[in-house]
Amino acid sequence: MKLAEPQRLYRRIAERIRGGVLRGEWPVGTRLPPERDLSLALGVSRPSLREALIALEVEGIVEVRTGSGVYVRAAHPAGNLSASTNSDVDWGPLEVMRARQVIEVEVAAMAAANARKSEIALMHESLQMMREEAANGEVPRRGDEAFHVAVARACGNDVLFDMVQRTWMARDGALFERLGDYFENPPAWKKAIDEHEVVLRAIEVHDVSGARRAMQTHLRNATKRYSASWKLPAA
């Protein structure tokens, strides 16, 4: 007997908001309550609420207007989240980032202990790809993924390597793509590249504790950047 998979937290929150829209609590065209008030009313954290609102935006139920608020766009949208994603993995961005902080910190430490010259060379190539993408005004997505996958490959554990790849598969989803629209910008790219350089330097000299600290710092900062650029009315 196969157990039913529990619904993702952001989906549960999104369904509660969708229910309020359908019941007429927030008619089409009206603005939802401020983030602080809505999170308190629903009994959820503001980051989790934010994730749910982005899911609803992807579905076409709400519209996020930067600097203004979140407005109800439709009660019965034509599309849905699963139809608008390019990925079979529906993990929420916050879930993924928290998992990465657990997994990739130790992966980096293991890579520092085990990395061979050829694997370190791949990390250098990936970091250079990030620099070139950023210089061309592109989101350095390919280089970013290539770097983290190269670090995972160097850790010497196939299970951890597969787990890292899975988290990057999740980034192909519509939620991550929409979230990136809010936080991906040249200053954020530069900070991310600088942080990658610190990770690489530690791995290159086989500094296990240094690589662990550098990856932890990078992933914590990356998670903060997802929230820092959500510019809505203060509340």
73-77, 140-144, 222-226: range with lowest mean pLDDT: 73-77
Task: Kindly state the average pLDDT of the residues 14-38.
Answer: 92
Query: Nearest-CA neighbor of 94 among 153, 207, 38, 175?
Result: 175
Alpha-carbon Rg for the chain, nearest whole angstrom, is: 19
Do residues 56 and 14 make contact, with C-beta atoms less than 8 angstroms apart? yes
What are the pLDDT digits (tens) for 151-202?
999 999 999 999 999 999 888 777 777 777 777 788 889 999 999 999 999 9
**CA 81 – CA 79 distance, rounded (Å):** 7
Do residues 107 and 152 make contact, with C-beta atoms less than 8 angstroms apart? yes
Tokens standing for 126? Answer: 């990936």
Per-domain residue ranges of the chain: 9-84, 93-228
The residue behind tokens 């599309």 is 79
Counted residue by residue, the chain has a size of 235
What are the pLDDT digits (tens) for 39-79?
999 999 888 888 899 889 988 999 988 778 899 998 776 54
Q: How far, CA to CA in Å, does 63 sit from each of 40, 73, 174, 181?
A: 21, 6, 15, 13
Which numeric CATH code is attached to 93-228? 1.20.120.530
62: phi then psi, degrees, rounded to nearest 5: -125, 165
**CA 49 – CA 117 distance, rounded (Å):** 44
pLDDT confidence of residue 211: 98
pLDDT band, residue 82 (cuts 50/70/90): very low
Residue 177's contacts (CB-CB under 8 Å, 6 or more residues apart) are 86
Residue 103's contacts (CB-CB under 8 Å, 6 or more residues apart) are 160, 163, 164, 167
pLDDT confidence of residue 5: 45
Architecture of domain 9-84: Orthogonal Bundle (1.10)
Query: Nearest-CA neighbor of 152 among 161, 143, 165, 144?
Result: 161
Q: How far, CA to CA in Å, does 152 sit from each of 89, 103, 128, 182, 195?
A: 20, 10, 18, 28, 17
